[in-house]
Amino acid sequence: MSISVRLPDGSTLDVEEGATVQEVAYEIGPGLGSDTVAGVVDGTLVAREETLDSDVSLEIVTDDSDEYLDALRHTAAHVFAQALLRLHPDAKLAIGPWTDDGFYYDIAHVDLDEDDLKQIEAEAHRIIEADLTVDRLEMERADAIEYYEEAAPNRFKREILAEEASGEATVSFYEQGEFRDLCRGPHVRSTGEIGGFALLEMSAAYWRGDESNETLTRVYGTAFPSEAELESFLERREAAKERDHRRIGQEMDLFSIPEHSPGCVHFHPNGMRVRRELEEYVRTKNEELGYEEVWTPELNKKELWQKSGHLDFFGAEGEFYLWEQDGDEYGLKPMNCANHAYLYDREKWSYRDLPIRFSEFGTVYRNEQSGELSGLFRVRGMTQDDGHAFIRPDQIQAEITHTLSIIEELYGEFGLEAVYKLETKGDHSVGSDDIWARATEALRDALEERGLEYEIEEGEAAFYGPKIGLDAVDVLGREWTVGTVQLDFNIPERLDLIYIGEDNREHRPVMVHRALLGTFERFLGVMLEHFGGDFPTWLAPEQVRILPISDDQLEYANALADTFTGVRVTIADRSSTLGRKIQAAHDDRVPYMVIIGGNEEESGTISIRDRFERELDDIDPAAFKRALDEEIAAKRLEPAIIETWSDHE
């Protein structure tokens, strides 16, 4: 029996059912067959030995493919494990996947320190230099269980065989030299393909991410095809450490996450100044898009989310906060969608009224595992710049394209490159294939109408509809998931939302879910690392600091401060040398310093200095204030007043 394989160019190839990825590649051409490392089958990266048993889409992965790095890093995880067992034979291996930056392996029954990591890394380099062939071995599942009971006792592998592989007759192992590991793959052909290898750090992790399970040691590493690529990565990593938002946030006194509120951010006065600027900025964008601001409570009865489908989805992931009281079950909302749908459903709407748009800075809660929490990037309580538009089907294209145009403008004003990803139907979706196809095509059309390049992320959509995911690329080239635009035919159906059409009959609206920045917590973290704490003047918690040379100028300093209306200005009024005041302002990342001494007071002028250590003397305070107002209004990315004035002298 033959199956149809759809190739990236849109053509199809008929092959025998059960053919492997590599065999299909040989059908396309002998050169491609010999170069095959792996395959992407219906969006999932698989081994070249994987068999194809039904009609699929297939992309062949070679050394030149982006996915090659994933296979290489997967092999690097095995190289680490092999080196570990050579030096610590009592260690037990759990799981070792590749990641966006490298790989990790969770291990047990061994205590490691930094010196141990150095020795393991040296042994790993010897394994790489040996250029060991990586071979795939198929084994009956019963034999595999016996192997991990007797030959290589390992309860973690037995648990994987009992659960993830419970329906499999055979399972796969990969071998290199004396090392063997239960693994689906894919892997590269030999350890010698790894050009650069490094172990990075260790942390604790729970087996299967469950806090009730055993605590394991997680060892992180990375690998590249060349040593030069590794060195470049390590340099970027060091630069990223210098920009760590947790350290900068503490230095600038922006936020804290105390032990009594794990995963929930406390915004300090400085942090709230930045957050309020972001909120007001988003409000202006919402007004351009025609949204009306609302507020809905965090606490609701669980029936609301049962109807919308959120309970099934977030409940299955263990992310809901639920409790029982007086015979009713309550919860903290994980999303704002159902509450906004309630607001829509309170009124009777005509087709002439649509679109109806609600926006909210809505705080939501998700029960993330403790080990997954990470500063502002992974929290339990978060505030979304959320919005939902209820539209007619004939308004879809205009609504999505207008939203995308605002998003393009927004990310440009922050100096961020936006990467667009069209995320398609996943395994836990609701609704018919026809509705999903229609919604996905609408998003695709909007992206193409705007002329935006985009990637396809198979299976990554929300449970109710496809989405355009927005990643922001920061100054170090890292991608951060932030905003989103989603199209939803399903929740209106589940909640029985209607409007009266031109034919005087009931019709179903379509929902557009969108967040421009994502959450304020995560976006602030991205901004801190993108700017290294050196916020643009409009966003800086302190925009100007007045530095009197001595206490004699305090009266003049206060008079000047009063003229800086609408500007966040402070006075360095503690007794100290001018040099120390300048250094303190620089350390606090203040965009502009106004320096005043006796000469400035007498002449009614100021000296100004920016964070780049550029200075100008004999400046009219009113002229500086006008230039400052213009810079703030224009949302310039860097302090530019002194540079501009110097160029005009």
CA-CA distance, 274 to 267, in Å (whole number)? 10
- pLDDT surpasses 80 at 490: yes
- The end-to-end CA distance of the chain, in Å, is 81
pLDDT at position 460, please? Answer: 87
Cα distances from 442 to residues 286, 337, 450, 499, 518, in angstroms, run 22, 20, 13, 21, 22
| 601 band by pLDDT with thresholds 50, 70 and 90 | very high
Q: How far is CA 154 from the centre of its chain?
A: 34
Closest by CA to 87, choosing from 256, 219, 279, 188, is: 219
As a whole number, mean pLDDT of residues 448-471 equals 92
The answer to whether residues 36 and 186 touch, using CB atoms and an 8 Å cutoff, is no
Task: Please give the CATH number for the structural domain made up of 68-237.
Answer: 3.30.980.10
CA-CA distance, 556 to 597, in Å (whole number)? 9
pLDDT at position 311, please? Answer: 84
- pLDDT surpasses 60 at 649: no
Domain 2-61 belongs in CATH node 1.20.1250.20: no
pLDDT at position 450, please? Answer: 95
User: What sign results for the dihedral spanned by CA atoms 284, 289, 294, 297?
Assistant: negative
CA-CA distance, 103 to 96, in Å (whole number)? 7
pLDDT at position 454, please? Answer: 94
Percent of the chain with pLDDT over 90: 84
Triad 589, 593, 595: Cα angle to 5°:
150
| 317 band by pLDDT with thresholds 50, 70 and 90 | low
Domain 544-648 belongs in CATH node 3.60.15.10: no
What are the start and end residues of each CATH 3.30.930.10 domain in the chain? Answer: 255-292+334-531
Percent of the chain with pLDDT over 70: 99
Rounded-to-10 torsion of CA 242, 246, 252, 258: -160
| 417 band by pLDDT with thresholds 50, 70 and 90 | very high
What are the start and end residues of each CATH 3.40.50.800 domain in the chain? Answer: 544-648
pLDDT at position 319, please? Answer: 81
Considering the entire predicted model, what is its pTM?
0.82
Per-residue pLDDT of 216-250, as tens digits, reads: 999 999 999 999 999 999 999 998 889 999 999 99
Q: Where are the alpha helices (DSSP H) in 321-432?
A: 337-345, 396-413
User: Which of 118-122, 198-202, 277-281, 367-371 is least confident?
Assistant: 367-371
Q: Which residues of 69-83 are buried (b: 16+ CB within 10 A; e: fewer)?
A: bbbbbbbbbbbbbbb
pLDDT at position 129, please? Answer: 97
- pLDDT surpasses 90 at 646: no
- pLDDT surpasses 90 at 170: yes
pLDDT at position 368, please? Answer: 84
As a whole number, mean pLDDT of residues 363-371 equals 86
- pLDDT surpasses 60 at 122: yes
- pLDDT surpasses 90 at 308: no
In CATH terms, the fold of domain 255-292+334-531 is: BirA Bifunctional Protein; domain 2 (3.30.930)
Burial class of 202 by CB neighbour count within 10 A (0 to 12, 13 to 18, 19+): middle
| 310 band by pLDDT with thresholds 50, 70 and 90 | confident
pLDDT at position 593, please? Answer: 97
The answer to whether residues 298 and 364 touch, using CB atoms and an 8 Å cutoff, is yes
Q: What is the DSSP letter of 239?
A: H
Per-residue pLDDT of 529-575, as tens digits, reads: 999 999 999 999 999 999 999 999 999 999 999 999 999 999 998 88
What are the start and end residues of each CATH 3.10.20.30 domain in the chain? Answer: 2-61
Burial class of 100 by CB neighbour count within 10 A (0 to 12, 13 to 18, 19+): exposed
CA-CA distance, 323 to 326, in Å (whole number)? 10
Strands 2-6, 56-61: parallel, antiparallel or unpaired by DSSP?
parallel
- pLDDT surpasses 60 at 167: yes
CA-CA distance, 463 to 430, in Å (whole number)? 6
Burial class of 300 by CB neighbour count within 10 A (0 to 12, 13 to 18, 19+): middle
- pLDDT surpasses 70 at 648: no
The answer to whether residues 363 and 381 touch, using CB atoms and an 8 Å cutoff, is yes
Active site members: 337, 366, 384, 386, 388, 467, 513
The answer to whether residues 282 and 385 touch, using CB atoms and an 8 Å cutoff, is yes
pLDDT at position 431, please? Answer: 86
The answer to whether residues 405 and 304 touch, using CB atoms and an 8 Å cutoff, is no
- 325 phi and psi angles, rounded to 5 deg: -150, 125
As a whole number, mean pLDDT of residues 570-596 equals 94
Mean pLDDT over the full length of the chain: 94
Return the HEC string of 352-363.
CCCCEEEEEEEE
